[in-house]
């Protein structure tokens, strides 16, 4: 037992030592802490890897179902209204384009194009299997970022959920221990008080 001036003595692994003051709930709490930590690490790791794999597979499937198609700008990109900046931050805007579907029919619609595009410029848009306009699937660093963020987010959420469940179970054990102490004290207090006042 190591003590320092002004500090309470600490006994490593006291919950596993032979101690008349150590209750079964103390041992259960110790094992609960270990189990919670191990489960949080293992489950968060597995969940994170599974989520990353699922997102990666989804992106691969999206790339297989999407094909680039040449299109022509029907209007100047700067005149597009409204013209929001694209969500991937590359400065593109949404403007009217015309393209030819695989069956030879001509279509028009709004697609993300360079902000400096002029009417009549050829741009590349993306179609799904039915020839409809879709956004370009993420590639390279953007795809890796999405996969990594999905894995990290799910790992943290899973680990947090396990830790919260462990905390709730530990709080229940502590509450039960306090109830037992209260019950035992109610039995001991009358005799103790009688001896002190007698």
Instruction: Quickly tell me which residue has 């299109």 as its tokens.
Output: 71
Question: What is the per-residue pLDDT for 38?
Answer: 94
Question: What is the per-residue pLDDT for 83?
Answer: 47
Does any domain span residue 39?
Answer: yes
For residues 132 and 93, state if they share a domain. Answer: yes
Dist CA 193 CA 8 (whole Å):
28
How many domains does the chain contain in total? 2
Question: What is the per-residue pLDDT for 65?
Answer: 85
For residues 131 and 176, state if they share a domain. Answer: no
For residues 53 and 150, state if they share a domain. Answer: yes
Question: What pTM value is reported for the model?
Answer: 0.64
Does any domain span residue 6?
Answer: no
Does any domain span residue 157?
Answer: yes
**Could you read off the pLDDT tens digit of each residue along the chain, which spans 198 residues?**
444 555 555 555 544 555 665 667 677 778 888 899 999 999 999 999 999 999 999 999 888 888 888 888 888 877 765 544 444 445 577 888 888 877 778 888 888 888 778 888 888 888 887 778 888 888 889 899 999 999 999 999 999 999 999 999 888 888 887 777 777 777 776 776 666 665
For residues 86 and 127, state if they share a domain. Answer: yes
For residues 184 and 158, state if they share a domain. Answer: yes
Does any domain span residue 83?
Answer: yes
Does any domain span residue 174?
Answer: yes
Closest to 110 in 3D by CA, of 85, 128, 87, 83? 83
Question: What is the per-residue pLDDT for 115?
Answer: 78
Choosing from 136, 159, 181, the residue where a domain stops is 136
Instruction: Quickly tell me which residue has 């953007």 as its tokens.
Output: 142
For residues 32 and 80, state if they share a domain. Answer: no
Q: Which domain holds residue 31?
A: 22-59+144-197
Question: What is the per-residue pLDDT for 1?
Answer: 46
For residues 122 and 162, state if they share a domain. Answer: no
Does any domain span residue 16?
Answer: no
Question: What is the per-residue pLDDT for 198?
Answer: 58
Question: What is the per-residue pLDDT for 87?
Answer: 47
Does any domain span residue 52?
Answer: yes
Choosing from 106, 136, 166, the residue where a domain stops is 136
């Amino acid at each position: 037992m190591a003590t320092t001036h002004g500090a309470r003595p600490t006994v490593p692994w006291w919950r596993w030592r032979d101690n008349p003051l150590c209750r079964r709930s103390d041992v259960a709490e110790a094992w609960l802490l270990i189990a919670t930590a191990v489960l949080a690490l293992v489950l968060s790791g597995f969940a994170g890897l599974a989520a990353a794999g699922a997102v990666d597979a989804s992106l691969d499937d999206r790339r297989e179902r999407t094909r680039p198609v040449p299109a022509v700008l029907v209007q100047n990109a700067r005149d597009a209204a409204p013209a929001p900046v694209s969500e991937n931050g590359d400065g593109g805007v949404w403007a009217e384009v015309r393209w030819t579907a695989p069956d030879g029919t001509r279509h028009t619609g709004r697609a993300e194009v360079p902000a400096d595009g002029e009417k009549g410029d050829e741009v590349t848009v993306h179609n799904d299997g039915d020839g409809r306009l879709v956004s370009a699937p993420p590639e390279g660093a953007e795809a890796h970022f999405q996969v990594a963020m999905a894995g990290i987010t799910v790992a943290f959420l899973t680990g947090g959920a396990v830790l919260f469940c462990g905390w709730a179970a530990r709080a229940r054990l502590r509450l039960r221990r306090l109830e037992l102490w209260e019950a035992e004290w109610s039995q001991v207090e009358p005799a103790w008080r009688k001896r002190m006042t007698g």
